[in-house]
Structure 1
Amino acid sequence: MKYIGALLIGLLLLVGGCDSNAVFKDIEDIEDGRWFVRQSPTFTFQIEDTTQTYSIFYNIRNSLSYPYYNLYISRVLLDSAGKTVESKLDELILLDPKSGKPYGDGLGDLFDHKIKVADKYRFPRRGQYTIRLRQYMRQNPLPEIYSVGISVEKEI
């Protein structure tokens, strides 16, 4: 199972590496598919063009055994000085609430989701930014989440 997951991540990165609009893309694995509240995947990237608008996406991998149809994530955007630029609570819908049918792209019992959480976003200044994520569900650890990531892409 671990080898299949690693292969899938490698393929995702290979395919994602071809996206010319991506300014930043990274994924962090969640050990044993158990996302503890204290775990805060953090992603740091550089923004050079403040006249450009950007889209921000979550990249989530979960199994069919994930016990909920949604996932709440707390997202904090920090500037290079560590000052909070934005703080949001996002609800991601991973499965159809009525049928339980998973959204996203699946292979076996794993499903990958690319979910837009911000569009037409303008960063206030050039420089380094950090996005810190935390799962915001009532269960700790949250089971069956195998990876979480961020993509920042230029809008065309």
Structure 2
Amino acid sequence: MLKTTSYILVMASLALTMASCNSNIVIDEQSDIQEGLWHLDSLVAFEFDIEDTASIYQIQYNVRYAVNYPYYNLFLKYYLEDSTGEILSSELQELILFDKKTGEPIGEGLGDLFDRTVPIFKDQKFSSTGQYSFKVKQFMRMEQLPGILSFGVKIEKPEDD
């Protein structure tokens, strides 16, 4: 009984310690792409709350893709919206997934699956507190873009902030 109680206390304190290490993370979510086919009209959306307008934030994409993805790059269009649905910013962006010369996948991977983390904004500020949404769609002009398995967004405050 005492061993079980001690084990539970150790695990609980470890969980609290790990949670406190990530207190600067606003959101870190992945969205699976159905059947690895990202449809042209499909938006990947992420909701998050901003409580601190004095801080700057870093935003990055996390892309999981297969080596049979047919291009070396991925064009995306993002939409940053406030709680009223007003688009605060929107831009077409290019992510490089394969080395142009060698054709080797960029990122961490094993076998035919790779994960690529791409910093997008290093100094993003939010003018007001509240709920925001970050929406992304593929912009490759293909009705069904194969090889993208999941897409994610991570927003965090820098450690020294």
TM bin (shorter chain): 0.7 to 0.9
Partner secondary structure for residue 32 of structure 1? helix
Partner secondary structure for residue 151 of structure 1? strand
Distance in 1, matches of 2:98 and 2:40, equals: 22
Where do 5+ consecutive residues of structure 2 fail to align? 1-18
The equivalent of 2:6 in structure 1 is none
Partner secondary structure for residue 35 of structure 2? helix
The equivalent of 1:7 in structure 2 is none
| Larger-Rg structure | 2
Q: 1:87 aligns with which of 90, 106, 113?
A: 90
1:137 aligns with 2:140: yes
Partner secondary structure for residue 41 of structure 1? strand
Quote how far apart the aligned CAs of 1:20 are: 4.0
Quote how far apart the aligned CAs of 1:87 are: 0.5
1:23 aligns with 2:26: yes
Give CA deviations for 1:65-122 in whole Å, capped at 9, x if unaligned: 0111110110000001110110111110111011111111002210001101111110
Partner secondary structure for residue 49 of structure 1? coil
Partner secondary structure for residue 43 of structure 2? coil
The equivalent of 1:67 in structure 2 is 70
Aligned residue identity for 2:74? L
Distance in 2, matches of 1:32 and 1:19, equals: 31
Query: TM-score, normalised to structure 1's length?
Result: 0.86
Aligned alpha-carbon RMSD (Å) = 1.5
Report the number of matched residues. Answer: 141
Where do 5+ consecutive residues of structure 1 fail to align? 1-16
Q: What is the identity percentage for the equivalent residue pairs of Structure 1 and Structure 2?
A: 44
The equivalent of 1:33 in structure 2 is 36
Distance in 1, matches of 2:122 and 2:93, equals: 14
4+ residue runs of structure 1 moved beyond 2 angstroms? 17-21
Query: TM-score, normalised to structure 2's length?
Result: 0.84
